[in-house]
Chain A
Amino acid sequence: MATIRFSNVAKSFDNGKVTVIPDLSLEIADKEFVVLVGPSGCGKSTTLRMIAGLEDISSGELYINDKLVNNIPPKDRDIAMVFQSYALYPHMTVYKNMAFALKLKKTPKKEIEEKVMWAAKILDIEPYLNRKPRALSGGQRQRVALGRAMVRNPEVFLLDEPLSNLDAKLRTEMRAQITTLHRKLQTTFVYVTHDQTEAMTMADRIVVMEKGEIRQFDTPQKLYNEPADMFVAGFIGSPQMNFIDARIVSEKGKLKVVFSGCSFAVPKNKSAVLEKYIDKDIILGIRPEHFLSRDEGDVSDKCKMNVVAEISEMMGSETNIYFDLSGKRHIARIKTERKIGAGESTELFIDPETAYFFDKETTKNTFAVG
Chain B
Amino acid sequence: MKSRGSFGRGLVYVLLFLIAVVFLAPIVIILINSLKGNFYISSSPFTFPTEETFVGFENFIKGFNQSDFMRSFANSAFITVASVVGIVLMTSMTAWYIVRIRNKFTRILYYLFVFSMVVPFQMVMYTMTYFAFEFRLNNPWGIVFIYLGFGAGLSVFMFSGFIKSIPREIEEAATIDGCGPVRTFFTIIFPILKPTAITVAILNAMWIWNDYLLPYLVLGSGENKTLPVAVQMALTGGYGNKDMGALMAMLVLAILPIIIFYLFCQKYIIRGVVAGAVKG
The interface of chain A, by Cβ under 8 A from chain B, is 52-54, 73-75, 79-81, 83-85, 87-91, 100-101, 104-105, 148, 152
**Are B175 and A87 in touch, CB under 8 angstroms?**
no
Indicate which residue in B173, B179, B191 contacts A83 across the interface (CB closer than 8 Å).
B173
Nearest opposing residue in chain B for A73, CB measure: B175
**Are A74 and B169 in touch, CB under 8 angstroms?**
no
Further 6 A-B residue pairs, CB within 8 A, beyond A75-B179, A80-B176 = A75-B178, A81-B176, A87-B167, A89-B170, A101-B178, A104-B177
Nearest opposing residue in chain B for A100, CB measure: B177
Q: Which of B227-280 contact A (CB under 8 A)?
A: 280
Task: Flag whether B55 is at the interface (Cβ < 8 A).
Answer: no
Q: How far is the CA of A85 from the CA of B191 in the complex (A)?
A: 19
Q: How far is the CA of A80 from the CA of B176 in the complex (A)?
A: 7
Point out the residues of chain B lying under 8 angstroms from A152, CB to CB: 177
Task: Flag whether B188 is at the interface (Cβ < 8 A).
Answer: yes
Point out the residues of chain A lying under 8 angstroms from B173, CB to CB: 81, 83, 87-89, 148
Q: Which of B119-171 contact A (CB under 8 A)?
A: 167, 169-170
Task: Flag whether B192 is at the interface (Cβ < 8 A).
Answer: yes
**Are B192 and A90 in touch, CB under 8 angstroms?**
yes
Q: 3 smallest A-B Cβ distances: which pairs?
A: A87-B169, A101-B177, A75-B178
**Are B172 and A87 in touch, CB under 8 angstroms?**
yes
Task: Flag whether B107 is at the interface (Cβ < 8 A).
Answer: no
Point out the residues of chain B lying under 8 angstroms from A73, CB to CB: 175
Task: Flag whether B194 is at the interface (Cβ < 8 A).
Answer: yes
A83-B177 contact in complex given A89-B188, A91-B191, A91-B194, C-beta closer than 8 Å? no
Q: For chain B, give the interface size range.
A: 10 to 19
Point out the residues of chain B lying under 8 angstroms from A87, CB to CB: 167, 169-170, 172-173
Q: Determine which residue in B167, B173, B178 has the highest number of CB atoms from chain A within 10 A of its CB, and name it.
A: B173
The interface of chain B, by Cβ under 8 A from chain A, is 167, 169-170, 172-179, 183, 188, 191-192, 194, 280
Q: How far is the CA of A228 from the CA of B25 in the complex (A)?
A: 81
**Are B179 and A104 in touch, CB under 8 angstroms?**
yes
Indicate which residue in A75, A83, A91, A105 contacts B169 across the interface (CB closer than 8 Å).
A83
Nearest opposing residue in chain A for B173, CB measure: A87
Point out the residues of chain B lying under 8 angstroms from A104, CB to CB: 177-179, 183
Point out the residues of chain B lying under 8 angstroms from A75, CB to CB: 175-179
Say how far A331's CB is from chain B's closest CB, in angstroms. Answer: 37
Q: How far is the CA of A252 from the CA of B179 in the complex (A)?
A: 74
Q: Determine which residue in B183, B191, B194 has the highest number of CB atoms from chain A within 10 A of its CB, and name it.
A: B191
Say how far A133's CB is from chain B's closest CB, in angstroms. Answer: 10
Q: How far is the CA of A288 from the CA of B194 in the complex (A)?
A: 55
Point out the residues of chain B lying under 8 angstroms from A52, CB to CB: 172, 176
Nearest opposing residue in chain A for B166, CB measure: A90
Q: How far is the CA of A89 from the CA of B237 in the complex (A)?
A: 59
Nearest opposing residue in chain A for B168, CB measure: A87
**Are B172 and A54 in touch, CB under 8 angstroms?**
yes
Point out the residues of chain A lying under 8 angstroms from B178, CB to CB: 75, 101, 104-105
Q: How far is the CA of A256 from the CA of B71 in the complex (A)?
A: 104
Can you sample 30 A-B contacts with CB below 8 Å? A52-B172, A52-B176, A53-B176, A54-B172, A54-B175, A54-B176, A74-B176, A75-B175, A75-B177, A75-B178, A75-B179, A81-B172, A81-B176, A85-B167, A87-B167, A87-B170, A87-B172, A88-B170, A88-B173, A89-B170, A89-B192, A90-B170, A90-B192, A90-B280, A91-B191, A91-B194, A101-B177, A101-B178, A104-B179, A105-B178
Point out the residues of chain B lying under 8 angstroms from A148, CB to CB: 173
Point out the residues of chain A lying under 8 angstroms from B167, CB to CB: 85, 87
Point out the residues of chain B lying under 8 angstroms from A74, CB to CB: 175-176
Point out the residues of chain A lying under 8 angstroms from B170, CB to CB: 87-90
Say how far B193's CB is from chain A's closest CB, in angstroms. Answer: 10
Q: How far is the CA of A52 from the CA of B175 in the complex (A)?
A: 10
Nearest opposing residue in chain B for A104, CB measure: B178
Point out the residues of chain A lying under 8 angstroms from B183, CB to CB: 104
**Are A85 and B169 in touch, CB under 8 angstroms?**
yes
Q: How far is the CA of A73 from the CA of B177 in the complex (A)?
A: 11
Say how far A81's CB is from chain B's closest CB, in angstroms. Answer: 5
Q: How far is the CA of A87 from the CA of B176 in the complex (A)?
A: 12
Say how far B182's CB is from chain A's closest CB, in angstroms. Answer: 13
Point out the residues of chain A lying under 8 angstroms from B188, CB to CB: 89
Say how far A165's CB is from chain B's closest CB, in angstroms. Answer: 12
Q: How far is the CA of A148 from the CA of B178 in the complex (A)?
A: 13
Say how far B158's CB is from chain A's closest CB, in angstroms. Answer: 19
Say how far B139's CB is from chain A's closest CB, in angstroms. Answer: 38
